Chain A
Amino acid sequence: MIWIFDSIILIFLVVTAIISLQVKDLLSAAMIFGVYSFLMCLLWAGMAAVDVAFTEAAVGAGVSAVFLIATVLRTSRRSSD
Chain B
Amino acid sequence: MSAVSDFPDWGDPHSPANSYRLSQGYITETFPETSVPNMVTAVLADYRGYDTMFETVVIFTAGIAIIAILRRYGPKDKVVPEQKLYKKEPDLIVETTCRLMIPIIQLFALYVVAHGHHSPGGGFQGGVIFGASFILLALARDLQAAQKWVPENRILNLAGIGIFIYSGFGFLCLLLGSNFLDYSILHKVMGVTPIEARSHSMLGVEIGVAFTVAAIMFSIYSNLASKGEMKEGL
Contacts and interface: CB of A to CB of B under 8 A. Distances in A.
Bound pair: A and B? Answer: yes
Contact of A50 (B120, B220, B225): B120
Given A51-B122, A58-B125, A63 B10 contact: no
Contacts of A67: 220-221, 224
Interface in A57-81: 58-59, 62-63, 66-67, 70-71, 73-74
A26 to B, nearest CB: 14
Chain B interface helix/strand/loop/mixed: helix
Interface residues of B, number: 23
Given A70-B224, A70-B234, A63 B131 contact: yes
Nearest to B220: A67
Contacts of B131: 63
B124 interface: yes
A70 B225 contact: yes
Contact of B128 (A58, A70, A74): A58
Interface string B200-234: 00000000000000000100110011010000001
Contact of B124 (A50, A53, A55, A62): A55
A74 B10 contact: no
Nearest to A56: B125
A71 B224 contact: yes
A70 B122 CA distance: 27
Contacts of B135: 63, 66
Interface residues of A, number: 16
A62 B40 contact: no
B119 to A, nearest CB: 8
Contacts of A63: 128, 131-132, 135, 217, 221
A54 interface: yes
B170 interface: no
B121 interface: yes
Interface string A20-42: 00000000000000000000000
Given A66-B221, A67-B221, A51 B227 contact: no
A71 B131 CA distance: 18
B129 interface: yes
A71 to B, nearest CB: 5
A58 B221 contact: no
Contacts of A10: none
Given A62-B132, A67-B224, A55 B217 contact: no
19 contacts: A50-B120, A51-B120, A58-B124, A59-B125, A59-B128, A62-B128, A62-B129, A63-B128, A63-B132, A63-B135, A67-B221, A67-B224, A70-B221, A70-B224, A70-B225, A71-B224, A73-B225, A73-B234, A74-B234
Interface of B: 10, 38, 40-41, 112, 120-122, 124-125, 128-129, 131-132, 135, 139, 217, 220-221, 224-225, 227, 234
